[in-house]
Amino acid sequence: MTEEKTEYRTEGYANAGENRKEASIIGFYRTMGISEEVCDLGSRVLSALEDRFRKIDETAEYNQMKVLKAMQDNRVSEACLLGTTGYGYNDLGRDTLEAVYASVFHTEDALVRPQITCGTHALALALMSNLRPGDELLSPVGKPYDTLEEVIGIRDSAGSLKEYGISYRQVDLLSDGSFDYEGIRSALNEKTKLVTIQRSKGYQTRPTLSVSAIGRLISFIKGIRPDVICMVDNCYGEFVERIEPTDVGADMCVGSLIKNPGGGLAPIGGYIAGRKDCVENAARRLTSPGLGKEVGASLGILPQFYQGFFLAPTVTAGALKGAIFAANLFERLGLPVVPNGTESRHDIIQAVTFNDPKGLIAFCEGIQAAAPVDSFVVPEPWDMPGYDSQVIMAAGAFVSGSSIELSADGPLKPPYAVYFQGGLTWPHAKFGILKALQRCVDAKTVKLP
């Protein structure tokens, strides 16, 4: 059979130009609804990011070795992938996984469980188990993540820390985003038992904290009150840098397994890595005094926990590239982006401000249309409980609500900002962003340069 007569069924080949012998990605993108102009702009923006992407790959390589070494040092075996049922006594895989987390975070101990239902639960557990009536909790970095307001009792809620006689104090960041050291000094008092530091900006406009900035804050606090427990909400931050907050003095790091450390494979779960007594307190609250870490069957979930953690450094790197690509692409179009295109990164969240509801909606439609699951549905703004405006959300994830997978959301109110994160692979994050841009172009909310 001659070359001419071969029938190529590969998408992209037909559009790749007459003399091409290879299927082309540009051609494939065209069949997926991305115009040549959008592809071109994407390529131009990308070519300027090579250096940064190489640094991200180097960080992923470093963190990959960190996880691998922890698995080898703790003698992860095939038997560790089997689960237990019932009480879950002597669950080798669960106990070994917790030792692996402790090695990666350089802590004395860790609690990594499917019974921890989400990030909020992990944080609530760490707080409620380490605070006692009469103690005070301090946030020296401003208001914590929305879902913690009811945990702490900032918004009155049954079962809050406040209801148990635990008071709360907050010191906001200064207007330039730096720590208010004098404010923190005077807020620390004899009742202060635990300090909570949120690494990621979450859905606020303050900068995300670098691990070294967290280290400086912890040194300052420990210099005044060495006995105070410093806890870091590490959500969205894991593996973005080579060190974690527990490497710079944090007594506990807390996060969700349906974000970075689950690597997209964990279908549920949370972790607390830290000082032995802090982790033991959390285990006793999760299960029961007297039982602690000894119970809690892992059922069949351990292969996903292990493999997800193993993949987490490269998955996080892909999401990070997506965030940086989106920042640079939309910045090029004149839209405000946080962080900006050149800032150093300490989490995987990217905000793009449209100042126009149509732009926010089009962006989310594009992310949804790029998804592997539910790509055919169109997201619509809805009245979500707990929000004072409608919210639009795009997610076509393998794990429901997983935000290490490509996802975007934003409240339908000025300044109409979309918060975007995730992508299990860099190629998927890239395609999702191009698709989102294409929708914005089609809706005439942005103009290509």
Ligand X SMILES: *Cc1c(COP(=O)(O)O)cnc(C)c1O
Name the residues that contact ligand X, by CB under 6 A.
118-120, 123, 145, 147, 198, 200, 202, 233, 235-236, 256
- Chain mean position to CA 384: 21
Toward ligand X, which CB reaches closer, 200 or 298? Answer: 200
Give the separation between CA 295 and CA 95, rounded to whole angstroms: 10
User: Residue 340 corresponds to which tokens in the numbers above?
Assistant: 């900006």
Give the separation between CA 71 and CA 64, rounded to whole angstroms: 11
CB of 324 to ligand X, least distance (A): 18
Task: Tell whether the torsion through CA atoms of 238, 244, 250 and 251 is positive or negative.
Answer: positive
Q: Give the DSSP per-residue string, 427-446.
A: HHHHHHHHHHHHHHHHTTSS
Phi-psi region of 340 (alpha: psi -120 to 50; beta: other; left: phi over 0): beta
Toward ligand X, which CB reaches closer, 218 or 434? Answer: 218
Toward ligand X, which CB reaches closer, 98 or 238? Answer: 238
CB-based contacts of 180-183 (< 8 A; 24+ apart in sequence):
180/140, 181/220, 183/140
Toward ligand X, which CB reaches closer, 165 or 386? Answer: 386
CB of 347 to ligand X, least distance (A): 8
Query: Longest Cα pair distance anywhere in the chain, in angstroms?
Result: 86
CB of 267 to ligand X, least distance (A): 13
Toward ligand X, which CB reaches closer, 103 or 120? Answer: 120
Give the separation between CA 39 and CA 375, rounded to whole angstroms: 20
Toward ligand X, which CB reaches closer, 259 or 293? Answer: 259
CB of 438 to ligand X, least distance (A): 28
Give the separation between CA 169 and CA 164, rounded to whole angstroms: 15
User: Residue 349 corresponds to which tokens in the numbers above?
Assistant: 């969240």
Phi-psi region of 364 (alpha: psi -120 to 50; beta: other; left: phi over 0): alpha
Toward ligand X, which CB reaches closer, 16 or 393? Answer: 393
Q: Which residue is nearest to ligand X (CB)?
A: 119
CB of 147 to ligand X, least distance (A): 5
- DSSP H or E segment with residue 193: strand 192-198
Pair 281, 109: CB distance under 8 Å: no
CB of 435 to ligand X, least distance (A): 24
CB of 282 to ligand X, least distance (A): 16
Cα torsion 14, 20, 22, 24 to 10°: value is: -60
User: Residue 241 corresponds to which tokens in the numbers above?
Assistant: 């840098």
Q: Give the DSSP per-residue string, 327-392.
A: HHHHHHTT--EES-SSS--SSS-EEEE-SSHHHHHHHHHHHHHT-SSSTTS----B--TT-SS-EE
Toward ligand X, which CB reaches closer, 123 or 418? Answer: 123
CB of 209 to ligand X, least distance (A): 11
Toward ligand X, which CB reaches closer, 107 or 256? Answer: 256
Provide CB contacts within 8 A for 296, sequence distance 6+. Answer: 88, 91, 94, 113, 115, 286, 287
Toward ligand X, which CB reaches closer, 198 or 287? Answer: 198
Provide CB contacts within 8 A for 7, sequence distance 6+. Answer: none
CB of 201 to ligand X, least distance (A): 8
CB of 246 to ligand X, least distance (A): 16
Give the separation between CA 294 and CA 153, rounded to whole angstroms: 31
CB of 391 to ligand X, least distance (A): 14
- Chain mean position to CA 28: 30
CB of 304 to ligand X, least distance (A): 16
Toward ligand X, which CB reaches closer, 24 or 147? Answer: 147
Toward ligand X, which CB reaches closer, 12 or 237? Answer: 237
